[in-house]
């Protein structure tokens, strides 16, 4: 019986095919392995390194490299994001900062990159004139102090009195010191528009925006006497000033005058703030006198002349007189 023989070339072909299949399988496995592995740029608080991972999600990558997140830490993209080859994952750690809005202070943790992001993160809405220190674009650093000042304004209208001017006209026909009112004058009325600026509720500035006159004032006009001499009883009286006064009379009380002398006819009690003590006077209807006394009831344009008897004082009564302050 003859043996069946297999040609060597057939055997060698079968081996080569098997080897080729194994090599293709290995190549496929390596290719699949390499395809499943992703190269990720990982940036944690400014420090960057490259990581190769088979994880499909960001949170798996962070667990793999041992990055533990605190509550306020920020990850970009989010922890649930799908990883892709060549992706950059950024982890920013939250830092302690102090935030003051108006007079309210907060101590908080934030992973915001800038002051502006922090305010947005905390729901702080800025008004048109609010001031932020430091500026919104300032990078947020550890232990930063951010101040938000609330700036508000209020526009108000104010009615204001415009004072009248006084026109003084000398009149040689009037006794010196005598003033006659020709026109009493009238105050005017104006309007001012103000803008009040408040910082955190307290007014810091008041600006005048506009001013107008509603009613013009009317000048007060007076005539001032300049006559310095008059004739009385055949005598010429030269005086520095004349007064229109109310005069009463008094008599002996057993007390001396305020200047220490015994009262006598010619003593006149005056208000020293109007007529200086010791002044020589001429009182119409009474005659010459001297300011030597004063009294609690004698105030302003009032005098009290001394008479010897009570009947004379009662007879004098109360009258209006001209009083001359003699030179």
- pTM score, two decimals? 0.54
Domains and CATH numbers, the chain: 38-92 (3.10.20.90), 95-149 (3.10.20.90), 155-222 (2.20.230.10), 228-326 (2.40.40.10)
| Better-scored residue on pLDDT, 212 or 5 | 212
Query: What is the distance between the alpha carbons of residues 204 and 191, in angstroms, rounded to a whole number?
Result: 22
**192-202 confidence digits (pLDDT tens):** 999 999 999 99
For the chain, the distance separating the N- and C-terminal CA atoms, rounded to the nearest angstrom, is: 182
Query: What is the distance between the alpha carbons of residues 14 and 322, in angstroms, rounded to a whole number?
Result: 155
CA-based angle 251:285:325, to the nearest 5?
90
CA distances from 236 to 228, 230, 231, 282, 324 (A): 10, 6, 4, 11, 12
For the cut 70, the answer to whether the pLDDT of residue 26 exceeds it is no
115 near 138, Cβ under 8 Å?
yes
For 32, what's the count of Cα atoms within 13 Å in the CB-facing half-sphere? 6
DSSP 222-278: EEEEEE-EEEETTEEEEEEEEEEEEEEEE---SS--TTSSPP-TTEEE--TTTS-TT
Which of the four pLDDT bands, split at 50, 70 and 90, describes residue 219? very high
For the cut 90, the answer to whether the pLDDT of residue 299 exceeds it is yes
283: CB partners within 8 A, 6+ apart:
247, 268, 289, 303, 305, 321, 322, 323, 324
Over the chain, what is the mean pLDDT?
89
- Is residue 22 classed as helix, strand or coil in its secondary structure? helix
Query: What is the distance between the alpha carbons of residues 253 and 179, in angstroms, rounded to a whole number?
Result: 36
Strands, DSSP E only, in 45-83?
47-53, 74-76
30: CB partners within 8 A, 6+ apart:
none
Q: Which residues pair with 199 in a beta bridge?
A: 151, 202
Strand (E) or helix (H) holding 162: strand 151-162
Q: Give every strand in the sheet of 38-44, ordered side by side.
A: 47-53, 38-44, 88-92, 74-76
For the cut 80, the answer to whether the pLDDT of residue 166 exceeds it is yes
Query: What is the distance between the alpha carbons of residues 256 and 270, in angstroms, rounded to a whole number?
Result: 15
CA distances from 88 to 47, 48, 117 (A): 12, 10, 21
**110-152 confidence digits (pLDDT tens):** 999 999 999 999 999 999 999 999 999 999 999 999 999 999 9
pLDDT of residue 72: 87
- Is residue 87 classed as helix, strand or coil in its secondary structure? coil
């Amino acid at each position: 019986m003859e043996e069946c023989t297999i040609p060597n070339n057939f055997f060698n072909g079968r081996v080569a095919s098997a080897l080729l299949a194994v090599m293709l399988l290995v190549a496929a496995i390596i290719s699949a392995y390499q395809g499943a592995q992703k190269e990720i740029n990982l940036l944690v608080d400014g420090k960057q390194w490259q990581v190769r991972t088979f994880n499909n999600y960001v949170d798996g990558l962070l667990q793999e490299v041992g990055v533990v997140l605190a509550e306020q830490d920020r990850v970009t993209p989010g922890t649930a994001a799908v990883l892709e080859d060549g992706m950059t994952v950024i982890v920013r750690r939250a830092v302690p900062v102090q935030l003051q809005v108006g007079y309210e202070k907060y101590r908080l943790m934030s992973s915001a990159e800038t002051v502006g992001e922090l305010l947005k993160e905390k729901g702080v809405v800025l008004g048109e004139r609010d001031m932020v220190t430091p500026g919104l674009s300032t990078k947020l650093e550890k232990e930063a102090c951010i101040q938000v000042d609330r700036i508000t304004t209020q526009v108000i209208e104010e009615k204001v009195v415009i004072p009248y001017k006084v026109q003084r006209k000398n009149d040689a026909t009037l006794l010196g010191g005598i003033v006659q009112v020709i026109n009493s004058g009238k105050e005017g009325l104006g309007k001012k528009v103000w803008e009040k600026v408040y910082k955190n509720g307290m007014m810091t500035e008041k600006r005048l925006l506009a001013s107008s006159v509603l009613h013009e004032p009317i000048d007060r006009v007076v005539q001032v006497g300049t006559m310095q001499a008059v004739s009385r009883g055949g005598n010429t009286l030269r005086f520095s000033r004349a007064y229109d006064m109310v005069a009463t009379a008094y008599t002996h009380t057993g007390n001396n005058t305020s200047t220490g002398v015994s009262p006598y006819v010619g003593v006149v009690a005056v208000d020293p703030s109007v007529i200086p003590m010791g002044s020589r006077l001429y009182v119409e209807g009474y005659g010459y006198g001297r300011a030597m006394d004063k009294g609690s009831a004698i105030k302003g344009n009032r005098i009290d002349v001394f008479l010897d008897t009570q009947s004379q004082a009662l007879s004098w009564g109360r009258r209006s007189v001209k009083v001359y302050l003699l030179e």
